[in-house]
Structure 1
Amino acid sequence: MTFYKCKFNGQECKFVLHDRCTRLPAELHNCINHPQHTLLLLTKAGHEFSRFRCKACYKLCNGFAYSCVKCSYIIQVRCAFIPKKIKHKSHPNHQLSSFAEASTIKDCCRMCLSRFTADNNISFGCDGCEFHLHARCASLLPETIRHRYDKHPLSLVYAPVENHEGDYFCEVCEEELNPNACFYHCHICAQSIHTTCAPLIPQSNPYICGTSNVRYRNIKYGGIHKTEYHMHPLSFLPGTKRDGDCTKCGKTLNDRHILKCLQCKFAIHYMCHN
């Protein structure tokens, strides 16, 4: 894919943009997430590593965002361009329309079987069939995954796929699996996996970048941060077990956002640098 990369004074930095991202509109009008006001494009939501919780998908994000100054409303770029209608394999006979007030829906998401509780969250639904999906369920789950103990890909399915009366069990957590929710299944080996357990699986083609935790999939890493309390620049990274404990608070850095020195062993939690 065509992209642009910064080479300031002949030196490379880690600022990279897709070609299509250079053409993002500076303003959005009548956005389905927040139609009452114009949203402005922010190249940085706060300071360099500022994280924000997207008001559409409620995931932690950073980087470019669209924001309403009047309402302190902020959403990630991906959610700003949610289409008004989609086609989805879970409901192949009709198109699903986007709906911005998901908290008013009384039934459950047909993919994860959980309710619509967050105000201003986005859903997709077929009103005639009373069929609704969370936007995150409809758009973020990959169609296929791979398990290191299964040579076949596992496909995302939306209904029971085995002709037996027994229970289904997840191959990762070994807990019972509700066959009425969507899940991943190998049709050859008859193995099934929760969608929530899928991010924990080592992928041959990873769809989670930087960290194994799905809640951080929208975080961009790699920036450089200069501080007064350390002589070297610090990189914004996902913590691992090998990083040990925070230099400041002494708690583990594993599976946390950290600032790490690549020249020495100094590393602290992102929240501890303030």
Structure 2
Amino acid sequence: MTTRFSIFQVDFEGEDKDTTMTSTRPNDPHIIEKHWSHPDHPLELLQFIINEHDNDEDYNNTTRGLICDGCIQPITVTHPSYYSCTQCNFFLHSVCATQLPGELFIGESSLHPEHSLTLSRNTRFYETVVCGVCGCSTNGFYFNCEACDMKIDICCTFLPSRIKYKSHKDHPFILRQVSDDACCVSRTKITGGVEYGCEICSNFRIEISTVFYPNTMKHKYDDHPITLRYPPFFYEGAFYCELCEEQVNNQWWLYHCDESDHSFHSSCLHLLHRMKLGGTIRIYINDEMHTLAFVFKMNVRTNSPLFICGNCGDAYTAGLFFECDGCGILICDECVRKIDG
């Protein structure tokens, strides 16, 4: 893939050759005293290094812990230069810290050329916006159009206008307005206003978020790497998703592990892939101070007990919560917004 930012790792090959912005620069400052996105504490320039004695489990645990607060992508050895706040769980790829333009002027964005766009971030780490391109919620950086009240996350902002896609290699794809509401790959509803469409097969379309699905990935529900599989499948029996327990259509994409024979809906594995979790907040609940971590909870079994908010008492099958590591109390995000507001 090639985009303006090479850190946005996607399993496609773009034809847009604008690669003027790279992940590192020799003149990046060692210390940024007051970054616009994190003015309370200085940011220090560091290098991500994996010890040669670390095993695969150590590596995956480390990379899961270092998530850029700008693009919400992992910080890895591929693009090792990053800024860190020593007092917070706050990290930025060096490119996200120093090379993003503060404003895209009228005509500079092919996704929204009518108005200028301003680089923005919500004040609280748990506040989210919905990207007007991919339709996903994010608590990372985004470009904002005040005139239209439209937000575009930074990964989508710099998508190439033309790509070659891995499962449809013979034809080029172009970035265009949505032509239908169903993605031909994930079979899910296209929630954003833009898609990648095949120039030759006019009715073949891919939602933007699906383009970012990696070929292989690690997941906490499987001990082995799981692989993205393309239909048709020749398999006796049915596939059932390990997360939602619903049957997986054998004409749809799925993630599968041959060693454990586990299958997953691709969409189930990529819930909240534009959200950084784990941030903490200290608030009083029932006159007692708690340190709560931002988490996502989902019942993976149909008969699992509901998640009960310790403040309002509402019950949920899934959602964003704040969890106390000490006593285990869960507080729904709506309650935290009211208390912290």
Classify the TM-score, shorter chain: 0.7 to 0.9
RMSD value, Cα: 3.7
The partner residue of 2:173 within 96, 111, 121 is: 96
Is the 2:293–2:325 contact (alpha carbons within 8 Å) kept by the matching residues of 1?
A: no
- Counting only pairs closer than 5 Å after superposition, residues 207-222 of structure 1 correspond to structure 2 as 214-222=270-278
The partner residue of 1:251 within 314, 319, 329 is: 314
The structure-2 alpha-carbon separation of the partners of 1:18 and 1:137, relative to structure 1 and needing over 3 Å to count, comes to: same
- Counting only pairs closer than 5 Å after superposition, residues 207-246 of structure 1 correspond to structure 2 as 214-225=270-281, 227=283, 232=289, 234-238=291-295, 245-246=308-309
Is the 1:184–1:195 contact (alpha carbons within 8 Å) kept by the matching residues of 2?
A: yes
**Does residue 81 of structure 2 align to residue 2 of structure 1?**
yes
Aligned partner letter, 1:6? C
Shift of 1:143: 0.8
The partner residue of 1:113 within 183, 187, 201 is: 187
- Counting only pairs closer than 5 Å after superposition, residues 10-49 of structure 1 correspond to structure 2 as 12-22=87-97, 23-29=99-105, 30-42=108-120, 44-49=121-126
Work out the percentage of aligned pairs sharing the same amino acid: 29
The structure-2 alpha-carbon separation of the partners of 1:49 and 1:113, relative to structure 1 and needing over 3 Å to count, comes to: closer
The partner residue of 2:206 within 128, 133, 146 is: 133
Is the 1:109–1:134 contact (alpha carbons within 8 Å) kept by the matching residues of 2?
A: yes
The structure-2 alpha-carbon separation of the partners of 1:235 and 1:177, relative to structure 1 and needing over 3 Å to count, comes to: closer
Aligned partner letter, 2:116? T
CA distance in 1 between counterparts of 2:222 and 2:88 reads: 40
Q: Tell which deviates more after alignment, 66-75 or 244-253.
A: 244-253
Consecutive unaligned residues of structure 2, counting only runs of 5 or more, are 1-79, 300-304
Aligned partner letter, 2:126? F
The partner residue of 2:252 within 172, 176, 181 is: 181
- Number of residues of Structure 1 aligned to a counterpart in Structure 2: 246
Cα deviation code 1:58-99 (max 9, x no counterpart): 222113211011111112221211211122111111221111
Q: TM-score, normalised by structure 1?
A: 0.72
Cα deviation code 1:3-58 (max 9, x no counterpart): 11124xxxx2222211111121111243233221111001x225453211221122
Consecutive unaligned residues of structure 1, counting only runs of 5 or more, are 200-213
For 1:50, what is the secondary structure of its paired residue? coil
CA distance in 1 between counterparts of 2:230 and 2:324 reads: 45
For 1:237, what is the secondary structure of its paired residue? strand
CA distance in 2 between counterparts of 1:93 and 1:135 reads: 19
Q: TM-score, normalised by structure 2?
A: 0.60
Is the 1:113–1:181 contact (alpha carbons within 8 Å) kept by the matching residues of 2?
A: yes
CA distance in 2 between counterparts of 1:147 and 1:261 reads: 23
2:231: which partner in 1? 159
The structure-2 alpha-carbon separation of the partners of 1:263 and 1:169, relative to structure 1 and needing over 3 Å to count, comes to: closer
1:59: which partner in 2? 136
